[in-house]
Amino acid sequence: MVKQDQNLVMNALKITSHTAAPAGWEAFVAGHPGGKLYHLPEWDAVVARTLGRRTHYITLEEAGTLAGILPLTEFNSRIFGRFAVSQPFINYGGPLLASDELITPLERYLAGLRSEQRYQHIELRMDRPIESQLPCKQHKVTFFMDLPEDPEILMASLKAKVRSQVRRPMKENMSGRSGGTELLEDFYKVFTINMRELGTPPLPKSFFRAILEQFPQNAFIVTVYAEDGTACAGAFLIHY
């Protein structure tokens, strides 16, 4: 049986916080145009397994029909205090709603949850603007790029300088590999060097391993090797 932490009923709208993802959660994520892998309970399992964080699974129901979901992960930090984020360690999350009008009652619910749980703040990391009276930061950016099936079409779409940068490793006899956990050691060496240069503490290796094991069809590593076999570049890729 799913335990309900908090329940709020507004007219025909019912908002509930669960300790585990309820039935219909995955189907709602899959059917929503904004649904991402990070909204799935498997992502929360990765965070709980490697970093020990607890997730609230918040649902919105209208007349018994699921109309929205919000995964919300809890943090207790000596430096930053007690707060909640949707979702942590990535730049995407926030609620998935059947209609934008549901954001107002959800915000009222979250205000009550913040008070009850004594959070200093609740952060929703969304990739589209919403009508809200709450403080909003829009200083971060991202980019999207269509990937044609033919790599030559992609190469032709790049500027001359970028094409030259792509071809340079080929001329220097560098090689690339893609795979899973067998490339984790090489990727993590490059990753930690980059994080050190940025002055940022790296996520543990177990975090990336858990993603690869939890999402074997969605996550993979790409590494680039110099001619002598030294790993000199790497990327951790997730698709959904």
Q: What is the mean pLDDT of residues 27-45?
A: 95
Confidence of residue 3 (pLDDT cuts 50, 70, 90): very low
Domains of the chain: residue spans and CATH: 4-124 (3.40.630.30), 151-238 (3.40.630.30)
Over residues 164-190, the pLDDT tens digits come to 999 999 899 999 999 999 999 999 999
Over residues 99-136, the pLDDT tens digits come to 999 999 999 999 999 999 999 999 999 887 777 777 78
**Residue 177 and residue 186: Cα distance in Å, rounded?**
11
Over residues 179-235, the pLDDT tens digits come to 999 999 999 999 999 999 999 999 999 999 999 999 999 999 999 999 999 999 999
pTM summary value: 0.85
**Residue 104 and residue 102: Cα distance in Å, rounded?**
6
Cis peptide before 165 (omega within 30 of 0): no
**Residue 67 and residue 55: Cα distance in Å, rounded?**
19
